[in-house]
Amino acid sequence: MNRRDSGVGGVNAAPRWALLCVALAWLSLQGCGLVYDALQYVAPAATDELDAICRLQRVHVGMAVEPFRPFVFPAIWTDEGSRITGLDVELVRHIVDALSQQCGRPVTPVLHLVRFRDLFLQLSEGKLDLFVSAVPSNVPAPAWAGFAYSIPYFQHGGLAGITRRPDVSDRIRQRLQPPSEGVPGAQAGAQVLDGLAVAVQDGTASQHYAAANLKSSRIVRCDSLPAAFESAEAVVDQGIDVILGARPVLEYMVTRVKKEWQLITQADGKPFFLTSAQYAVVMSEGSYRLRWFVNGVIFRLDESGQLERMRARWMDESYAFPRRAAAEGLPFDVEKMVVHYSQGACRADRAR
Amino acid sequence: MKTGTLIVTLLASGLLAWGVTDVREARAVERAEAEETARLLAKLMRAGRLVIDQNQTMIDDPHKGDKGFTPDVFEQQLIVEFRKETAIDLRTLAATPSSILIPPLAKELLPAFVLASKEVVREAQVVINQRGIGYKNFIPATYGSQAARRFTGQSHVRLKQTTLKPRNPKNEPDDYEASVLKWLSGRPNAQAYVSELTDKGRTLRVVMPIYYVKDCLKCHGEPKGEQDISGYPKEGAREGDLAGAITVTVPLNVGNR
């Protein structure tokens, strides 16, 4: 009762309180502006992605959790904890060093190890500043559109195939022979794989190539390259005839890890490429300053001969990656790695 | 000298002698306890390394995803191995009365090392449970490095793995460790350990040897110089050879206050 009385009694006071509130709000707004200006002076708000990286002193880098040796090796444990290494990791180190120099303070890379096919998604969702994992810059696929690609850091990419069956190898080589009497004529690119079971990795250039060009092959989609090997080695007769993938990765695998497999070559022994590609760093389309910056880093590495040294170091030298991981690998954010990475499996492409 | 003064002087001398004896005794007790704690810590680390070694094939199995080698599983196996070595049950450690064999410091530090080790196994889960990846470099030495680092960061006691020709430069022995390792390498495999006071008696250091067992030889055995799976040249070691040592450095308090 008393309360209501006092409320009724307060009716006259309401306009005064309202005025006071408006005045206070007005004063606060002025104050806010001043505070904002002061903050801007001390720590300017980020105006673009490069400023944001400098301000946070962190760059979010995506990498494929599936190994793309020698660009990205499997995550490994070292004396320093979990580490990842490879040519792409070395490139990230160079970019991060340059960022630290640009920002005038140390910038830390936060590595997100995710499935290759999810890298594009995470970049578009703004979870990454950039990603790098032997990504060709010239794949005409809708899923790869709407992103920005740096200038190339690796020139000799492209799709190639491997097989462990001599009959398949001979068959393809025969199809690739120049036309002459009594010999089947040379077939253009993809047609040499007609009638064969071809394994590709989901979401990669090989899958997009197969979808667009391998109309008469039986396509087997695999979650990773190791899954393709496992599947091919488990079933010999009706399994996988050819694994299609990035040539430098396949070359590394057949010369160092899976020596029972061979690269498919032409009749004269020259390598058989299905496509040509250059590998680039992937960023958001609107990241103009970051792109200029990354392009600049790659350009300087190329100009100084460092890129070529990196290529030779990872492609040609004899080494064991655990040792390099311990010495120069980068830590990764365990929380940002897919839980219990599994190489996955292979299945027939039912969409065809 | 007056009788009164004499009595006072004698009393003071007696008290001083008693005090000195007391400090000496306390020092001796502290050293003994610290030494036993250091030995137990070294044995616990050795047991942890052995557990990793025993699970190595499973950890490196490329066909298996989730290995089930969780921090709790590791802990259970660690407890078993440690009990085999010392007859001490870590599960009942808190309720066990302190003694010279289980000093109060050990009761505090042994569980801390178990926790540090479990943290390492927990963090390594993403690496251990990868399917399709064989060798993961989660081996006794890399487990030991990280467990020692974490434990040292959380306590005042320093643990270190060392050897005369370390693969990891951070495990390089100092002059004292090198001399002990050289001395140990010329002697038969034994449970011996070396203990000394350093830093003007303010620190106790215990060096406990580690010897190669059969499983170690895949990476450290013959042929000498050939690259092992991790990319390091094999040492050409034989079973029972000295592999290195675990050094435990414990700061002492009594007499330094």
Give the pLDDT confidence of A103-147 residue by residue, as tens digits: 999 999 999 999 999 999 999 999 999 999 999 998 999 989 999
Task: Check residues B203 and A352 and name the one with the higher pLDDT.
Answer: B203
Helix H or strand E encompassing B210: strand B203-211
**Sign of the torsion angle spanned by Cα atoms A178, A183, A185, A186:** negative
* pLDDT, position A22: 57
Q: What is the pLDDT, as a whole number, of residue B257? A: 41
Percent of chain A with pLDDT over 70: 81
How far apart are the two ends of chain A, measured CA to CA in Å?
79
- Please tell me the distance from the alpha carbon of residue B119 to that of residue A78, in angstroms, as a whole number: 15
Whether the CB-CB separation of B38 and B207 falls below 8 Å is answered with no
In a domain, B128, yes or no: yes
| Residue B63 included in any domain | yes
Query: Count of A–B CB contacts within 8 Å?
Result: 87
Q: Measured between alpha carbons, how far is A51 from B170 in angstroms, rounded to an integer? A: 37
In contact, B164 and B178? CB cutoff 8 Å = yes
> From CA A268, how far away is CA A229, in angstroms rounded?
27
Q: Is residue B257 part of a domain?
A: no
DSSP state of A143: G
Question: A322 and B135: CB-CB below 8 Å?
Answer: yes
pLDDT score, position A314 = 97
**Please, which residues have CB within 8 angstroms of residue A1's CB and are 6 or more apart in sequence?**
none
Asked if pLDDT for residue A331 goes beyond 60, the answer is yes
Q: Is the pLDDT of residue B255 over 80?
A: no
Are B145 and A79 in contact (CB < 8 Å)?
yes
Cα B3–Cα B4–Cα B5 angle in degrees, nearest 5: 95
Q: Does B227 touch chain A (CB under 8 A)?
A: yes
As beta bridge partners, residue A160 has A245, A273
Q: What pLDDT is attached to residue B131?
A: 87
pLDDT in the model for residue B86: 95
Q: How many domains does chain B have?
A: 1
What the block records as the tokens of A89 is: 């990791």
Q: In the predicted model, is pLDDT for residue B245 greater than 90? A: yes
pLDDT tens-digit series, residues B76-132: 999 999 999 999 999 999 998 888 889 999 999 999 999 999 999 999 999 999 988
Distance from CA of A178 to the nearest CA of B (A): 40
Interface contact flag, B136 A79, Cβ < 8 Å: no
| Domains by residue range for chain A, with CATH | 49-155+278-336 (3.40.190.10), 159-276 (3.40.190.10)
Quick check: is B98 in a domain? yes
How far is the alpha carbon of A70 from chain B, nearest alpha carbon, in Å?
14
| Mutation site, A65, A69, A76, A77, interface B, largest B CB count within 10 A | A77
Do the Cβ atoms of A82 and B145 come within 8 Å? no
Provide the pLDDT for residue B147.
97
Q: For residue B234, count CB atoms less than 10 angstroms from its CB and return exposed for 0-12, middle for 13-18, buried for 19 or more.
A: middle
Q: Please, what is the average pLDDT of chain A?
A: 85
Higher pLDDT, residue A267 or A351: A267
Whether residue B2 is contained in a domain is answered as no
Tokens representing A232 are 């091919």
Q: Is A334 strand, coil or helix?
A: helix
Cβ-defined contact of A324 to B231 (cutoff 8 Å): yes
Residue count (chain A):
352
Is the pLDDT at A87 greater than 80? The verdict is yes
The type of residue at A329 is G
Q: Position B102: which residue type?
A: I
Listed in sequence order, the residues at least 6 apart from A85 whose beta carbon sits closer than 8 Å to its beta carbon are: A73, A76, A321, A324, A325, A328, A329, A330
Q: How far is B117 from chain A (nearest CA, A)?
A: 13
Residue-level pLDDT at A194: 92
Q: What pTM, to 2 d.p., does this model score?
A: 0.80
DSSP A224: S
pLDDT band of A18, cuts 50, 70, 90: low
**Mean pLDDT, residues B12-22 taken together:** 58
| 3-state secondary structure (DSSP) of residue A37 | helix
User: How far apart are alpha carbons B70 and A203 in whole angstroms?
Assistant: 32
Among A331, A273, A347, which Cα is nearest to A81's? A331
For B131-170, how does the pLDDT look when each residue is reduced to its tens digit (9 = 90+)? 888 899 999 999 999 999 999 999 999 999 999 988 888 8
In this model, does residue A34 exceed pLDDT 80? no
- Structure confidence at residue A8 (pLDDT): 36
B9 touches chain A (CB under 8 A): no
- Name the more confident of A319 and B158: B158
Report the distance separating Cα A231 and Cα A243, nearest Å.
11
Rounded to whole angstroms, how far apart are CA atoms A117 and A309? Answer: 29
- Is residue B228 included in any domain, yes or no? yes
pLDDT of residue A11: 42
The mean-pLDDT minimum among A94-108, A176-190, A265-279, B101-115 falls in A176-190
Q: What value of ipTM does the predicted structure carry?
A: 0.80
The confidence score (pLDDT) of residue A4 equals 38
Residue of A50 and B20 predicted with greater confidence: A50
Domain-located, residue B1: no
Please check whether residue B238 lies inside any domain of the structure: yes
**Is any Cβ of chain A less than 8 angstroms from the Cβ of B146?**
yes
**Residues of the domain holding B211:** 7-251
